[in-house]
Amino acid sequence: MNRQISLMGSIGLLLLSAGAPRWIPAAEPLRALPRYPVLAETFPFGFWYAQAPMVEQLAGALLEMYPQRREKLFHHLARHYTNAVITSNRVARTESLDAAGRYGIRIVSSAQFLHNHVNHAGELTGNATMEQVLQRAAAHASEVKGHDQLLAYLVFDEPRSQVSAKIQQVSDMFQKIDPRHPAIYTHSDMPLDETQRAAQWRLLQSRDVILSDCYSIAARSGRDPWLYGDVYLSELRRANPDALQWPIVQAFTKPYTIWALPTPAELRVIVYHTVACGAKGMFFFTINQAYLGSWARRHWFYRGSGNPWFGQEPLMAEIGRIGAHLTTAGPLLIPLRYAPKYPVDIGAVEAPTEAAETFGAYVLGGSGTARGGSLRLAGELRREAIHVGAFAGGAHDVLVVHNNDPWRSRRAAVTLRKPRDQVLDLHTLELVPLERTATGATFRVAFQPGDGRLYLAGDQRSVEIGRAFVLRRRYQHQARLVARDVELAKRGGVDTAEVERLAGVARTAEDPQVAVDHIHQTVVALEQAQAAAQKYAQAWHHVEAARRSFDRIYATFCSAPIQPIDEQSAPALRELERRVLQASRGFARIENGLRAGKWDPTEAYVLEREVGQLETAVREYRPDERVERRIAVISGEAGQTGTDPEARALAKRLHWMFTEVTLLMARSDGQIVDAAGNPFALAGQDLVWFHISGRSDAARVVYCESAALAPGQPHRAVVEQVRDHNEGGGGVVLSGLAGCLVGRP
């Protein structure tokens, strides 16, 4: 353990002290880090709305104790590499901070006492005087300021400029009582106006950390996952280039509006592009495991990543995959200064000096709230597919290299024109091959849609210490999870002696790679020990099978156009809702019993069978009053995924409303085919619905007034078939970019 402390200390010394004169110009230090050393230890990665009071409502619905729910929530978040949460409209108490600490999670306390004094527009509410607000802030800071898991205090959420002076006043009080943790607020007003909104401009200039939010994924064409990095962060840096940027990005949707849940690839673009443009943290709004259950009346107001049973969900899985990289390698970029003009060239893979791959996208633009101005003009963006952001130092830099295209895999050659001896891939922890020419050092990258990673470019010593740092962070995370999992196993009667022995070996290893290898062996040994405890393993097997059924139940409800939340829903659907709640209570009771070491395989088997039967009932449910119609939904091609995901979701919803719905794909060769790839004739269909969302290949076809996205009109034959169907008396609906494609000249 002494070696571990020494290694971590040497890294901190290298990044923050010894390297500072060379890596960060003395005239321009990052002022937040000397003031708040806690900020240098973490690349915060987590959720807003990941705790009480929403999780209390969910616990109440499931008839379980709040501490039980909270413990499972933190355990689940840690498995997905969450290391920070912003509490849900409630201050963080010592008990909650203690619980989070068991999983290595830091908390931003939602100390928004000022909301009891003024509203977002600065109008007095009369609920509390300013003196009372300051007293409450001081009392709260006095209570929690010494806790290791406290990250910051959240003073206000999305204020207008009129609240700026009061936010500063409360921030000063927190600073007076607790100079170790920053006071922050959520900034949302855009674009900035230093003349008309001078108080807000001064407030931003005073911040050491700027927390902000921007949600730009809309269901119609024009999704803009690049908006945060391109516009928001550049605006905020204009006011304050020194502040650490903590964005809150979209991981939610509102039904029946223009919002949409980001695809995993879009989420990757949002995260990596925003980090590449200067972010030093990443929060997501919102998480559905803690927000509300499927039976709660407000459940459908927000649908977020995850589900109430802590099951598998695509967006949550993607967040965890990204988090595994950013929480372990991300701290390396914290002390470095963002370098928007870093000397790097992007070229073609086979010819680095030639132009790299580019792609086009259509965005809708957006309106700000500060002046009502537009954040970005609606229209086509054309950009390099591979993008590089940089955080520069003296002996080393950290590069964020990623695929900006959320539709297709992309490759490129990256040439560094700044002298660097080595480049370390901070994901694989291997050196990348460099080709040295007169123009610089070149290496090649290839990423799946939207994906990316961090690279460390520097001398041999920097690379060695960077590798050791990431390995140690990986070990620490896995060791915490193993410790918690061993606790659960021991309560259930599992023999964990060998597991604990291996964990001890990992803990005392001097070499971080050896520590990681041993902790991986520990995980395998734990799995083997759990399997050897047959009845315990059998009970968990049944519980996990039930959890997977709940995953599919939830996905079915989310894809339905009718939600079981009020008296307008069909009685049969409301009865399914009641059964889901009843089964969920049984699931929570048995799962909590297992976590406490009280298990009954027979009871768990009955749970699995009953939830499986419920899953069948939910998946097969269709309203009795469906209309007798034959509907064909035509999707544009969507790269490697085939049909457009929005078109697939549309077909699912129509299947609830009409008796026969067929999802088709318009291929680039002009054929319309079914799921098996067979040609499909539109004759006989009552309605043809042609949808192109803007993320499909069809978006590259000439549309509107521009030919910038792709040459020619490969969908002309499809357009003619749809037009012929309409002129023959058949119904046609066009949505997304399809209206641009089909419209006559």
If one compares 476 and 743, the residue with the highest pLDDT of the two is 476
> Could you check whether the bond before residue 191 is cis, i.e. omega within 30 degrees of 0?
yes
Q: Can you tell me the mean pLDDT for 659-664?
A: 95
pLDDT of residue 715: 63
Question: Does residue 640 sit in the same domain as residue 616?
Answer: no
Residue of higher predicted confidence among 625 and 293: 625
Residue type for 328, please?
T
Q: Residues 299, 315: one domain?
A: yes
CB 363 within 8 A of CB 379: yes
In a domain, 18, yes or no: no
Interval 314-325 mean pLDDT: 97
Q: What is the pLDDT of residue 371?
A: 42
Evaluate whether residue 486 is within a structural domain: yes
User: What pLDDT score was predicted for residue 673?
Assistant: 92
Q: Does the pLDDT value for residue 528 go beyond 80?
A: yes
Environment class of residue 483 by beta-carbon count within 10 Å: exposed (0-12), middle (13-18) or buried (19+)?
A: middle
What are the tokens at 203? 């407030």
Report how many domains make up the chain.
5
Instruction: Identify which of 641, 668, 700, 638 has the alpha carbon closest to the alpha carbon of residue 382.
Output: 700
Other C-beta atoms closer than 10 Å to the C-beta of 394 total: 16
Q: What is the pLDDT of residue 667?
A: 83
Instruction: Tell me the pLDDT tens digit for each residue of 342-367.
Output: 999 999 999 999 999 998 877 777 65
Residue of higher predicted confidence among 665 and 246: 246
Q: In the predicted model, is pLDDT for residue 25 greater than 80?
A: no
Select the more confidently predicted residue: 311 or 555. 311
Angle at CA of residue 169, ends 166 and 171, nearest 5°? 110
Q: List all residues 6 or more positions away from 123 whose beta carbon is below 8 Å from its beta carbon.
A: none
Percent of the chain with pLDDT over 90: 68
Render the burial of 425-448: b for 16+ CB within 10 Å, e for the rest. Answer: bbeebebbebeeeeebbbbbbebe
Candidates 606, 547, 543; CA nearest to 309 is: 547
Give the 3-state secondary structure of residue 285: strand
pLDDT tens column, 252-265? 887 666 678 898 99
**pLDDT confidence bin for 742, thresholds 50/70/90:** low
Q: Are strands 672-673 and 658-666 parallel, antiparallel or unpaired?
A: antiparallel
Q: Is the pLDDT of residue 324 over 50?
A: yes
Q: Judge if 276 and 128 occupy the same domain.
A: yes
Residue found under tokens 């633009």: 365
- Indicate if 138 and 103 belong to the same structural domain: yes
Domain limit, last residue, from 596, 620, 644: 620
pLDDT at 634: 92
Angle, vertex CA 508, rays to CA 502 and CA 509, nearest 5:
90
- Domain range holding 559? 535-620
Q: How many CA atoms lie within 13 A of 409 on its CB side?
A: 6
CATH of the domain at 244: 3.20.20.80
Residue 405: how many other CB atoms lie within 10 Å: 25
Asked if residue 339 is part of any domain, the answer here is no
Rg (CA), the chain: 27
Same-domain pairing of 231 and 262:
yes
| 564 belongs to a structural domain | yes
Instruction: Look over the chain and give the mean of its residue pLDDT values, rounded to a whole number.
Output: 87
* pLDDT higher than threshold 90 for residue 372: no
| pLDDT surpasses 70 at 124 | yes
Q: Quick one: average pLDDT of 112-137? A: 95
Q: Between 75 and 704, whose confidence is greater?
A: 75
Q: How far apart are CA 428 and CA 467, in angstroms?
A: 10
Q: Same domain, yes or no, for 475 and 449?
A: no
Lowest-pLDDT range of 125-129, 242-246, 322-326? 125-129
CA gap 147, 162 in Å, rounded: 33
pLDDT over 60 at 13, yes or no? no
- CA distance to 76, 307, 585, 670, per residue, from 65 (Å): 17, 18, 12, 59
Global pTM? 0.90
Residue 567 lies in a domain: yes
DSSP annotation of 674: -
Least confident of 137-151, 187-201, 257-271, 315-329: 257-271
Q: Are residues 422 and 308 in the same domain?
A: no
**The domain spanning residue 451 has which CATH number?**
2.60.40.1180
Q: Is the peptide bond before 53 cis (omega within 30 degrees of 0)?
A: yes
Based on the domain organization, do 615 and 633 belong to the same domain? no
Q: Is the pLDDT of residue 16 over 70?
A: no
Residue with tokens 């002494």: 2
Q: Which residue in 326, 295, 407 sits closest to 709, CA to CA?
A: 407
Per-residue burial over 595-629, b = 16 or more CB atoms within 10 Å of its CB, e = otherwise: beeebebeebbebbebbeebbeebeebeeeeeeee
Work out the pLDDT band at 696, boundaries 50, 70, 90.
very low
User: Cα–Cα distance between 301 and 390 in angstroms, integer?
Assistant: 38
Q: Answer yes or no: is 66 within a domain.
A: yes
Average the pLDDT over 629-635 and give the result.
94
| Contact between residue 667 and residue 714 where contact means Cβ atoms under 8 Å apart | no
Residue type, 451: D
The first and second tokens of residue 324, run together, are: 């595994």
Q: Extract the tokens encoding 246.
A: 């903590």
User: What single letter denotes the amino acid at residue 326?
Assistant: L
CA atoms within 13 A on the CB side of 239: 30
Does residue 269 fall inside a structural domain?
yes
Q: pLDDT band at 217, cuts 50/70/90?
A: confident
Does 665 share its domain with 735? yes
Cα-based distances in Å from 106 to 52, 74, 142, 329, 620: 15, 11, 18, 17, 43
611 and 716 share one domain: no
Structure tokens at 423: 């480049």
In a domain, 8, yes or no: no
The CA distance from 288 to 292, in Å, is 6
| Position 19 confidence tier, pLDDT thresholds 50, 70, 90 | very low
The span from the CA of 58 to the CA of 325, in Å, is 31
Q: In sequence order, what are the residues at sequence separation of 6 or more whose Cβ sits closer than 8 angstroms to the Cβ of residue 135?
A: none
Shared domain check, 104 and 131? yes
Identify the domain boundary among 620, 644, 678: 620
Q: Other C-beta atoms within 10 Å of 714: how many? A: 19
Q: For residue 140, count other CB atoms closer than 10 A to its CB.
A: 20
User: CB-based burial of residue 578 (10 Å sphere; 0-12 exposed, 13-18 middle, 19+ buried)?
Assistant: exposed
**Amino acid found at 349:** V
β-bridge partners, 396: 458
Q: Residue 680 region, left (φ>0) first, then alpha (ψ -120 to 50), else beta?
A: beta
- Judgement on whether residues 132 and 256 belong to the same structural domain of the protein: yes
In the predicted model, is pLDDT for residue 741 greater than 90? no
Average pLDDT over residues 600-612: 97
Mean pLDDT confidence for 564-577: 73
Picking from 620, 645, 665, the residue at the C-terminal end of a domain is: 620
CATH (domain of 654): 3.40.50
Nearest alpha carbon to residue 402 among 450, 344, 474, 466: 450
Residue 4 has a pLDDT of 34
Query: What type of residue is 434?
Result: L
How large is the average pLDDT for residues 373-378?
74
Q: State residue 8's pLDDT score.
A: 33
In this structure, are residues 48 and 302 in contact, taking their beta carbons and an 8 Å threshold?
no
Q: What's the pLDDT score for residue 123?
A: 95
In this structure, the strands spanning 430-431 and 672-673 are unpaired
| Alpha carbon distance 243, 541 (integer Å) | 48
